[in-house]
Amino acid sequence: MEEMARPTAPSNLPGLVKAAFTKARANGDLTYYPTQAAMLTPGSLAFQLRFSPSLASKPKAPKPKEPNAKPFNPFENPSAAMLIAELPPSHNLVLNKFAIVPEHFILATKEAKPQTHVLEKDDIDAAYACIRAYHTAGQELFTFFNSGEHSGASQPHRHLQLLPVERMKDGLEDADRGGEWDVLADRIRGRKKALPFSIFTAAIDAEMSGEERHDAYLALYKRAVKATIASEEVPDKGEAKISYNFAMTSTSMALCPRTAEGASIQNRSDEEAGSVALNGTVLAGTALVKNQAEWDALRENPDMLLSVLRKIGVPPTDELQGNL
């Protein structure tokens, strides 16, 4: 059976995103939180650490005035100021209202579908269309998805998040060894050395059909479920059985099961310095902290990050490592 037409993203998508971000920031429709950056190399992993003290005072979503009113949904009927483009028939591209990386944007379903459900083929298709639009323009896009209580997910309306890789490097030129950083999801494919936690990867390319890419995602998800809860039956649709992060680039997919959102860290005096919470950007090789004590503790002892990574997912074994 011939595959239905794939969703297409505007060919000038990088320019559209940049223009929308610049205008919305100038008009006060979004908030950009600048960060300091440092490079960490715990256990030979090149990880970037970001510090944004102003993010600690990020405003919370307004609570409904009526007891039974629906909570505010930023992806339902997005305002003209936040809407970048529509991806017919099923998705919208909107700006992230609270950006740490410039030009951070969101791929959200038009219909309010659950964030905790297994991704559908059109979700993968639409995300890859955006990735291809950037790749064709000579740029790369890192796409990630948080699902479940331990994943760093914050919105119940289904959405994937998209970050231009070049903008993820902002500030690294001033950091020691900043040139060593690249997206982890691409670097770990084929890696022999065990990681601090299990990550399942697959190679993808533009020649694959939408069905083949969706099948690759489902295969990673099923491996992650079996590694986490040893379930024999893993449905292809509906409520996901585990918390996990998923990431996609132009050449790779990566998926990691999550058992905790973060973990506490200590300074050199063995006093608690705070805690580090991680979402799907962990698959890019990035971590974010919001206070000075956490920032100092991780730079003084980068191996503390390995301790966090060991606690957020499934311990790796020879059987669990590997690619498709």
Report if residue 170 sits inside a domain: yes
Mean pLDDT for back-to-back runs of 10 residues, the chain (324 residues): 67 97 97 94 89 77 63 88 95 96 97 97 97 97 97 95 96 72 88 80 96 98 94 90 97 97 93 95 96 96 94 77 42
Using the Cα atoms of residue 22, residue 132, residue 213 and residue 201 in order, give the sign of their dihedral: negative
Per-residue pLDDT at 90 = 93
**Could you tell me how far CA 259 lies from the centroid of its own chain?**
16
Report if residue 71 sits inside a domain: no
Output Rg (C-alpha) for the chain, integer angstroms: 19
**What does the alpha-carbon distance between residue 299 and residue 36 come to, in Å, rounded to a whole number?**
12
CA distances from 90 to 14, 87, 154 (A): 20, 7, 21
For tokens 């410039």, the residue is: 102
User: Pick from 116, 112, 120, 103: which is nearest to 74 by CA?
Assistant: 112
Cβ–Cβ contacts within 10 Å for residue 318, how many? 7
Give yes or no for a contact between 252 and 268, defined as CB atoms under 8 angstroms apart: no
Report if residue 67 sits inside a domain: no
**What does the alpha-carbon distance between residue 158 and residue 169 come to, in Å, rounded to a whole number?**
27
Report if residue 163 sits inside a domain: yes
**What does the alpha-carbon distance between residue 40 and residue 45 come to, in Å, rounded to a whole number?**
8
**What does the alpha-carbon distance between residue 224 and residue 6 come to, in Å, rounded to a whole number?**
27
Per-residue pLDDT at 124 = 98
Per-residue pLDDT at 8 = 86
DSSP 16: H
Report if residue 2 sits inside a domain: no
CA atoms within 13 A on the CB side of 121: 12
Per-residue pLDDT at 72 = 80
Report if residue 63 sits inside a domain: no
Q: Which residues are 86's β-sheet partners? A: 92
The pair of structure tokens assigned to 38 is 């440092």
Report if residue 257 sits inside a domain: yes
CATH number at residue 119: 3.30.428.70
Write phi, then psi, for 288 (nearest 5 degrees): -125, 135
- What's the number of domains the chain is made of? 1
Report if residue 8 sits inside a domain: no
Domain that holds residue 178: 15-55+82-312
